[in-house]
Amino acid sequence: MAKRDASAFDEAAATRDAKKLKVAELRAALEAAGADSKGLKAELVERLVAAARDGSAEVPPAAPSPPPSAKKAKSPAKPKPDGQKIEIVRLDSKGAIQETLEAPQSYSDARAEFGKLRHSTTLDDGGSLELRVGGVAKLSTQDEKKKKTKTKKAKAPAGPIPRSACPRTSVEGKKLALLSVNVAGLRALLDPAKDAARRDALQKLVQDEKPDVLCLNEHKLQESHVDAMKEELASLLPDYPVSLQHFTCSTAKKGYSGVAMLIRRGGVAEGADVTAGYETTDEIVKTEGRLLTLKAPGLPTIVATYVPNSGQKLDRLQYRCETWDRGLASYVKGLGNTIVIGDLNCCHLPEDIHNMYTRPNFAEMRAGDVPVEEQYKGLSGPAKQAGLTVEERKSFSKLLADADLVDAFRTKHPEALGVFSYYSQRVVANRGMNRGLRLDYVLASPSLKLADAFILSTDDAWPFADHSPVGAVFQLD
């Protein structure tokens, strides 16, 4: 498609037209343009308008609303089979049947004709009437039913999950500081026409942490965008010049995935060699821009990665567990001392999943006394959610063992509770109630000198995204 003249593009009209589209229509338009079609409607609208602005997509007209349909005519009631015949039975005071009366073969009509009787209506002579269906007396009258119904106590809503204090460690001497941030679209974050709050938050975060290596996940750039974004980042973060920025982009799908490494000028990683992917036949590793590797003399190897999500329908679950995790473990095992950092898209332990905190055996889960398969009893939803499945959590444990890695945050804060790195944007209340998931990690070879590991508060450090920044500091000899 020919590149659009930006001066002739009516963004307000495009936005208005895009908002009229249904989610399915938005996704179809994005897929036709080869762009990411996942997310909430607001994200899809923004993504489609951006694609229309640069000429890679068109905003299709919304389908006309169908006229209000007439109410569907109620079909006549089907006659009841003999086994469900409705009858009125007169009983004497001893419960013996005295008379059986035909009732209309519609339950509602029978009630209208004979009154609101269900089980037994007492008569003046001490006998009673019963309404029977298929020879079986129905339950009590409405009044009797109310008396028999136990009053249910209203269940108090669950309160917020407390977040453990995880004090930071000040590290003196030679050190390697790492920080990873899921930016959920770098162009939108750096766009000067948008609210500058996210740009300011990123700038302050990097100034405060001063990472030697800053890893950006899910930047969603096409290769044609990289040069301009490098300039924007260098202007916002002057300690990370263009020459020390490294990007890998998805070539399989536009506006999708992507990882970047920014190296601090004057830091211990300056002059490092950075490469994308690794030697493999796996097409996802080769084409989706999900992994960068940094190597420098005197430093452990650093692998920044954005692990594939298993998908809403778990269509990538088998690939994630049997191919991606096994390939990454094999690759890391051959690198020597290594640090793996990024959005790993899995909740490893029960305390990484907010739903587990209300389980009656949560303490036993944390102690390792409940197999992963049994942790979901009575809690079917999370077991079918990407990143929370039994298969992914067990695969994550195998990855740690096969690659000889430890979870830096759990190593530093083994008793921490309520410390999550992701909050769903679909359930807005979850963030305020601290009901999240831990999907972002720093994994490291156990022989490295881990000095600090952290998951920053989303509200304080990075309040405009669904992921929290994570990082670690290692003491160097």
Residue 430 annotated as part of some ligand binding site: no
Residue 218 annotated as part of some ligand binding site: yes
Residue 413 annotated as part of some ligand binding site: no
For residue 331, give the nearest of 408, 250, 404 by alpha carbon: 404
Q: Which two tokens stand for residue 457?
A: 């508060």
311: left (phi over 0), alpha (psi -120 to 50) or beta: left
- Quick check: is 240 catalytic? no
- Quick check: is 467 catalytic? yes
Active site residue: 36, 212, 325, 343, which one? 343
* CB of 353 closer than 8 Å to CB of 437: yes
Counting Cα atoms < 13 Å in the Cβ hemisphere of 432 gives: 4
Residue 217 annotated as part of some ligand binding site: no
Which residue type sits at 317?
L
Residue 102 annotated as part of some ligand binding site: no
- 160 φ/ψ angles, rounded to the nearest 5 degrees: -65, 150
Which residue type sits at 246?
H
Residue 66, C-beta contacts closer than 8 angstroms, at least 6 positions apart: none
Active site residue: 240, 278, 306, 423, which one? 306
Residue 466 annotated as part of some ligand binding site: yes
- Quick check: is 376 catalytic? no
Active site residue: 246, 354, 413, 467, which one? 467
The catalytic residues are 306, 343, 467
Residues annotated in the binding site for Mg(2+), as ranges? 182, 218, 343, 345, 466-467
- Which residues are annotated binding-site positions? 182, 218, 343, 345, 466-467
